[in-house]
Homo-oligomer: A and B are copies of this chain.
Amino acid sequence: MPKRGYHHGNLRQALVDASLTLIEERGPTGFTLSEAAKTAGVTPAAVYRHFEGREDLIAEAALQGYEIFTELMQHAYDTGGPSDLSRFGATGHAYLAFARKFPGHYIAMFESGISVNRTPDLANASAQARAVLERSATELAQHIPADRRPPAAMFSAHIWAMSHGVVELFSRGQPGRQSPYPPEDLLESGIGIYLRGLGLIPQDK
């Protein structure tokens, strides 16, 4: 990082990045505006040139998280061919990969307690992320006979719930509550069994 003078140049993003690092290290509780400012090498008051306050700063981090999330899942979906099933699987992997690679974002999005309806932008970004997963689920569900096909929203809610559960319970490094299996395996096998239950994977592997 080049030495800076009185003006920072890109303080807004530097503050978001600092916040993400702090959230990642100390959890949503441990994060403070003052410390984020200090980490970015700036006075707390400077934050107010770019954000309305503490909440607004976290919200921006979450927003960026949703954007990255959507992008990753979309990319996985696009390149996950050839089949609907393989695309769906790629999307699931992308979910876990995101939680792994962007823990600060993930926490800001799902554990910081900020409402997704805080701003239209945020609500929109969140809806888009959901939409990617749901589209993938919808297409996959076409392979199930219509009379036994669960609604796409339910299907994707199941997947989301299991993914989130694996991340929260087994992927985070909480001391003492470690996974008996790598989270990737846990999620992969869990979703595999689930898909088998829908008849999307042959019964005896």
Contact = CB atoms under 8 A, between A and B. Distances in A.
Interface of A: 27-29, 110-111, 113, 115-117, 123, 126, 148, 150, 153-154, 157-158, 160-166, 168-170, 174-177, 179-181, 186-187, 189-190, 192-199, 203-205
A161 B189 contact: no
Given A157-B170, A157-B186, A161-B186, 19 more contacts: A115-B174, A116-B176, A116-B177, A117-B176, A123-B176, A148-B205, A154-B180, A154-B181, A154-B189, A157-B179, A161-B170, A161-B187, A162-B162, A165-B166, A165-B168, A190-B194, A192-B197, A193-B198, A203-B203
A1 to B, nearest CB: 31
Contacts of A194: 190, 193-194, 197
Contacts of A175: 115, 117
A111 B111 CA distance: 9
Contacts of A205: 148
Chain B CB within 10 Å, residue with most, of A148, A160, A161, A179 = A161
Contacts of A161: 162, 165-166, 169-170, 186-187, 190
Contacts of A148: 204-205
Contacts of A198: 193, 196-197
Contacts of A150: 189, 193
